[in-house]
Amino acid sequence: MKLSMYSIQRKRLNIFILAIAGMIGLAGCGESSRSDANEPTGEVASAAQKPNIILLMTDDQGYGDFSMHDNPIVQTPNIATLAEESQRFSNFHVDPTCSPTRAALMSGQYSLRAGVWHTVMGRHMLSNQHNILPEILDDAGYTTAMFGKWHLGENYPFRPEDQGFDHVLMHGGGGVGQAPDYWENDQFDDTYFLNGQEKKYTGFATDVWFDEAIDFVHQQAKQDAPFFLYLSTNAPHTPWRAPEKYIEPYKALGLDDDLAKFYAMITNIDDNVARLRQAMRDDNIEDNTIFIFMTDNGSSMATKSNGEPLTRLSAEVKSAIEAKTGKKLRTLNSFMRGGKASTYEGGHRVPFFIRWPNGNLGQPGEFTDLAAHIDLLPTLLDLVGIEAQGIDVDGISLVSLLKEGTPLPDRTMVVTNQRVLNPSPQRPYSVMQGNWRYVHAEQNGGVELFDLSTDPGQQLDVSAQYPERVAAMAKAYDQWWEHTTSKGTPTTRPIIGSEHENPSRLTGMDWLSPNTGQVPWWPGFGTDKWGKGHGWVGNEDKFMVSPWALKVDKQGTYKMTLYLHDIPANKVIGKKFAHLQLNGKTITLPIKPGATSVNFETHLETGELDVRAWFDDITDESGLAKGLPAFYMYVERI
């Protein structure tokens, strides 16, 4: 495992800046740049004594998708052991979907305030204007790495290597096989992006992430500097696939194909957790490593089962499983309502475990205090002793609770599920105060009030009985909305023509489309039910031409190459003309018979650029409304 040259150069520069700061007593003094956004005095000298940090987050695995959480079917003994050895939060919340959770986690801000409120449509790119967790740790002398799923931007300056990570191995998009990923990836023997370069790997995706993470741990255990490892699996996100040896035991229980594969992916993660922890013990670093396990939102299986996967089981299968396990099947979603994308509890309450044997934390046990993803950044900085001035966060440090058992202050927290081009206060949300939940769960529905202390499944709306509480929580939501959107919700724009990424590869998943259904977010690769015919591939004519919102870094001549499918597909376009519209002005070129791409060369000025690209049989731009979109575009300053 080697760090990229770009990362090495940046790290050397950061260390140089920190060393100079230490000599002259320089302190952070504002928010304007990374180099002065935190107070680095003394960090270089003490970096070797700081603990390592491993943040392990799984994808679409809900609170109930664990053996220790009232689920006797799924096998997660190693994670259960980790939980028993950790301090556990049972009232911990994230956003209901992937990218927003990740943005809040990295920035310490509510996702809407961080500028990320969707998973596609260009609304998932985390702005480089934030000073995020890996940047802060990198500046403090940590070696930083991530493996797996990023989902906060595919292009400069939003990529993980642009935002503080020294070493990156990732798939593209929100799930393996989505449009930004390498063409035809299906989770087995795929090609991933190693520090921005394509590289083929052998094996199942989750195994690859852990293999590479363990290699990183072995390498860093020999170094003086501490490390931050962000291990973010794509599993058990769809498509539900796993090695057959993990699927077969669940099929033998009588589970349907989807549930068997979903649980198989989870048990595979569980085995890999054991491998990672053994590697830490082998390298004698477990005691001085902060190890965090969490998930990014509620269960996708609960979403597919109206909130309770138990309903997927017939009475006969249920009885047979109870007989085999000797345990009563009562719930597979911890009795919660809703799953992924829901603002009911099942969509955003997730497990959170933290362990640091050398950290003078309290004894393993469970906390019921209200906490959330926005608390992670201030908590970690507090634990490792980094004073980051000028960092604007919405979360609080949990250290007093972890070390002394001091209860967290009463607080109001909000989660929302936007998933639209432009956010709206009328989209679903949940306001949380202690055990109270004020929930607007459906776009066209009303608002409900629940008391989780007597109604954990959120079945009884008591809003009529507590009008004063309803009014207070409604006011709290209005104040939260003002807080998170008062500075606007600007469009984040990939930068083209930069020395950091040239050429740039753009995909239709980043179109500013009018709705999620007009985004080619799922190509559909493989031979199972999630394979060919499941997604946009083969249905290209059903999508409308939508713009990419870009920013030109330097003026000059640019080559802009349009494709119907990505380069490895070698897909013939099959139309007569290609059209490239730049800030409303259209250039048209003929397409050669049998061509798979069309090159445009044009002069671009520095600044914002809106681009539409399509193919048709019309010589002018009159076919824009019904054109066949270019789903991929490569842009290079030449």
pLDDT tens track for 98-148: 999 999 999 999 999 999 999 999 999 999 999 999 999 999 999 999 999
Q: Does position 23 have pLDDT exceeding 60, yes or no?
A: no
Beta sheet of 597-604, edge-to-edge order: 504-507, 632-637, 556-563, 597-604
* Token pair listed for 516: 């999620």
For the CA atoms of 393, 394, 395, 397, the dihedral, rounded to the nearest 10 degrees, stands at 50
* pLDDT of 16 higher than 80: no
Q: pTM for the complete prediction?
A: 0.93
Span 193-223, pLDDT tens digits: 999 999 999 999 999 999 999 999 999 999 9
pLDDT at 46: 57
- Structure confidence by residue, pLDDT tens digits, 424-435: 999 999 999 999
Q: Are 258 and 82 in contact (CB under 8 A)?
A: no
The Cα 490–Cα 379 span in angstroms is: 28
d(CA 638, CA 504): 12
Residues 248-277 have a mean pLDDT of 98
What tens digit of pLDDT does each residue of 495-511 get?
A: 999 999 999 999 999 99
- Distance, in Å, from the CA atom of 521 to the CA atom of 175, rounded to the nearest integer, reads 9
Least confident of 34-48, 468-482, 576-590: 34-48
Q: Which long-range contacts does 23-28 make (Cβ < 8 Å, 24+ apart)?
A: 27/389, 28/388, 28/389, 28/390
Domains and CATH numbers, the chain: 5-412 (3.40.720.10), 413-485 (3.30.1120.10), 503-637 (2.60.120)
How many CA atoms lie within 13 Å of 578's alpha carbon, on the beta-carbon side?
26
In whole angstroms, give the CA distance from residue 159 to residue 148: 13
Specify the 3-state DSSP secondary structure of 515.
coil
Joined tokens for residue 114: 């961080």
Cβ distance 613 to 630 under 8 Å? yes
Q: Which residue shows structure tokens 């362990």?
A: 355
Across the chain, mean pLDDT equals: 93
Mean pLDDT of 259-279: 98
Please name the residues in contact with 448: beta carbons below 8 A apart, sequence gap of 6 or more. 438, 439, 440, 441, 458, 461, 463
The per-residue DSSP string of 171-185 comes to -SSSSTTSTTSPTT-
Q: Residue 177 pLDDT more than 50?
A: yes
Contact 67, 329 (CB under 8 A): no
Beta strand spans in 141-253 (E): 143-148, 167-170, 191-194, 197-200, 227-232
**In the structure, what pLDDT confidence band is assigned to residue 1 with cuts at 50, 70 and 90?**
low
